[in-house]
Chains A and B, each alone.
Chain A
Amino acid sequence: MKILIVEDERPLLESMLTYFSDVGNICEFASSYTLASEKINLYNYDCILLDLGLPDGEGLNLLKELKKLKKSDGVLIISARHSLDDKLTGLDLGADDYLVKPFHLSELKARVTAIVRRKKFDGNNVITFNEITVDITNMETSVNNHPITLTKKEYDLLIYFLSNKGKVVTKNAIAEHLWGDEMDISDDFDFIYTHIKNLRKKIIEAGANDYMQSVYGIGYKFASL
């Protein structure tokens, strides 16, 4: 996928570039409003990661520009403001999602992947990873064409891993993804362990390889062996 990252905070930009620079991804960046504006005028992107707090212009105006250009690039807003109004305005102006700083790169990746998947929807919305297939439209998972039954949380977890395949995903990130605000009440990660254990068991029992590796207690990695 082709991605444009609009972010003026250099270290953050670099992290994002590194995380997204997988095989098959093209990542470009703009560190100011002007540069971003030039780029969106010239090229098409699958997804634009847009930081609202730019030094030389209001990030939301880029959305208006996109609309004027009649472009259908996916847009994910990144903001330091946990503001409902900003979020609503952004989504109103055509943004696809809204992520508040600080965030886990794995969460960012999962959301960008979801946006791109939605944008590229062509009647065949299926993620395939070796013998595992997930049909997003029907929320159906199958291994070697045999459907398996997953709970909502297990399904979300699988999608999350598939969006971040080959990456180490921390327990913190998983907890936040699956539980969001509620997780506040329980910071121990036994929950995640239970869900991961169940998911892993179901997939292996259906005949797939064990792609899930625990990484020194800090997180998990879903990758081809």
Chain B
Amino acid sequence: MKLADRYNRVNLLTALIVLLITGLIYYVVIHFIFTEKLDRDLTVEEDEIKQYVATYNKLPLPASFLDQQVHYKLLNRGIKESRIFKNTTFFNVKENESEPGRSLVTTLSQGNNLYEVNITKSRLEAEGLVRIILLITLGVTCLLLLSLILINRLFLKRLWKPFYSILDQMKAFNLVKMSDIELNKTEVDEFQELNSSAAQMATSVRQDYKELRNFTDNASHEMMTPLAVINSKLDTLLQAGPITEKQGVLMEDIYNAINRLTRLNQSLLLLTKIENNLLSDVQVVDFREVITEKCRQFQEILNRENIVLSVDLQPCEIEMSRYLADILLNNLLGNAIKYNKTNGYISIILKADSIEITNSGKNFALTEQHFERFFKSASSEGMGLGLAIIKQICALYNLSIRYSFPGGNHCFTLSINRQVS
């Protein structure tokens, strides 16, 4: 639930409850005041009748006015005196209809007779007033709620705009692309603070990331010279004189280790280079040409492993670094050969917007982990950087890579997102 919605809900609910309670209290109080006034009027009338009886020693004529009616009734002996106010109906003669009324029923003794005096007044006016007041209250309530909703809808949305803008930017923040966080101007202190914190965080993250990459870059480069020394010393040692077979085996192991370390270093350097987008030879690469060339290069190995290669190449051009295109295909095809089996097959299907490489292989599917750096399965002889490099190159040029495992075969599909690039 959105913050604004949540706030709105509480806000509206509170307003509704408070207004309803206020309306109720209004109604009750006003009703009470009016009844009180009517009762006072009725008492005044009663006093007048009592005075009349005291003065003239007879009952006044039962009178019927527009808003007041007086009736007398002779009571039997033995009934106690009483005096009560009650709500009744008032028959309006003029309008010829019943209206709500208020009566004072009291007893009055005149001579030996005891009379019941019933004074009734119309309550219509008072009721009308109360109703109007209630309507006004309800109207105001609705108006208030409506305006609250509108304010929330329109104003809050605008108020939160800087927040959503910064949120969108944080979502889109991409370390690799080194995108900047643009700050929208806002007058709200909280948002200003949020903006500056986000910008600060982005800067420091970028800085850290840059340092990390520089570190990898420098460390890898610095390692190259000692490696060169070791290699050259071995070469020199080899020339120095007769060596025994045992020594030869030892030296070969050292050579192989140096070889691996060198490749590892080069792969790391390549990764940083791709991440930094430092490859300047971007051009329109004809993939049909590159794949044909690669197939020719790998032919010897394919023949030896007895792997059948089938290619279906349609024209496909991608704007990217030629060097990386080479590495991309080298890795993809290299994997397809390395993790193949003897008498297996490889099929390459190149379409205008996709490259699909399928190869037979050992019967287990790759997982997401295989795309991570330095991850390798137990049987793998590589360094675990091949797929990471493929992934990185794809990310740089907006190619989406998909892996599937149809019927025990490994299939890599690269889709080219034309509209973006």
Contact A217 B334 (CB under 8 A): no
Contact A12 B252 (CB under 8 A): no
Q: How far is the CA of A149 from the CA of B256 in the complex (A)?
A: 33
Least Cβ–Cβ distance between B259 and chain A, in angstroms: 6
- Determine the residue in chain B with the shortest Cβ distance to A85: B280
- Determine the residue in chain A with the shortest Cβ distance to B245: A216
- Confirm or deny: A117 has a beta carbon within 8 angstroms of a beta carbon on chain B: no
Contact B381 A182 (CB under 8 A): no
Which of these, B239, B243, B252, B298, contacts A19 with CB under 8 Å? B239
Which of these, A80, A168, A172, A185, contacts B225 with CB under 8 Å? A80
Contact B301 A186 (CB under 8 A): yes
- Confirm or deny: B300 has a beta carbon within 8 angstroms of a beta carbon on chain A: yes
Interface segment out of the listed A59-67, A103-111, A126-134, A154-162:
A103-111
* Residues of chain A with a CB closer than 8 A to B239's CB: 18-19, 167-168
* Residues of chain A with a CB closer than 8 A to B320's CB: none
Within 8 A of A (CB), among B217-236: 221-222, 224-225, 227-233, 235-236
Assess A12 versus B229: contact at CB under 8 Å? Given A82-B266, A184-B263, A217-B248: yes
* Residues of chain B with a CB closer than 8 A to A187's CB: 256, 259, 381
Least Cβ–Cβ distance between A15 and chain B, in angstroms: 3
Q: How far is the CA of A81 from the CA of B217 in the complex (A)?
A: 10
Within 8 A of B (CB), among A147-201: 167-168, 170-173, 181-182, 184-187, 190-191
Assess A102 versus B262: contact at CB under 8 Å? Given A15-B232, A168-B239: yes
Q: How far is the CA of A82 from the CA of B263 in the complex (A)?
A: 12
Contact A216 B244 (CB under 8 A): yes
Least Cβ–Cβ distance between A148 and chain B, in angstroms: 21
Q: How far is the CA of A15 from the CA of B237 in the complex (A)?
A: 9
Interface size classification for chain A: 35 or more
Which of these, B221, B248, B263, contacts A215 with CB under 8 Å? B248
Contact A15 B266 (CB under 8 A): no
- Determine the residue in chain A with the shortest Cβ distance to B255: A172
Least Cβ–Cβ distance between A30 and chain B, in angstroms: 17
- Determine the residue in chain B with the shortest Cβ distance to A78: B228
- Determine the residue in chain A with the shortest Cβ distance to B230: A102
Contact A102 B224 (CB under 8 A): yes
Per-residue 0/1 for A6-27: is the Cβ within 8 Å of any B Cβ (1 yes, 0 no)? Answer: 0001011001101100000000
Within 8 A of B (CB), among A39-98: 53, 80-82, 84-85
Assess A185 versus B235: contact at CB under 8 Å? Given A172-B256, A216-B243: no
- Determine the residue in chain A with the shortest Cβ distance to B263: A184
- Determine the residue in chain B with the shortest Cβ distance to A173: B235
Q: How far is the CA of A170 from the CA of B244 in the complex (A)?
A: 15
- Determine the residue in chain A with the shortest Cβ distance to B269: A82
Q: How far is the CA of A22 from the CA of B227 in the complex (A)?
A: 25
Least Cβ–Cβ distance between B133 and chain A, in angstroms: 85
Least Cβ–Cβ distance between A222 and chain B, in angstroms: 13
Since A85-B280, A187-B381, A191-B301 are in contact, a sample of 6 more A-B pairs with Cβ atoms closer than 8 Å, ordered by chain A residue number, is A104-B235, A172-B255, A182-B301, A184-B263, A185-B337, A185-B338
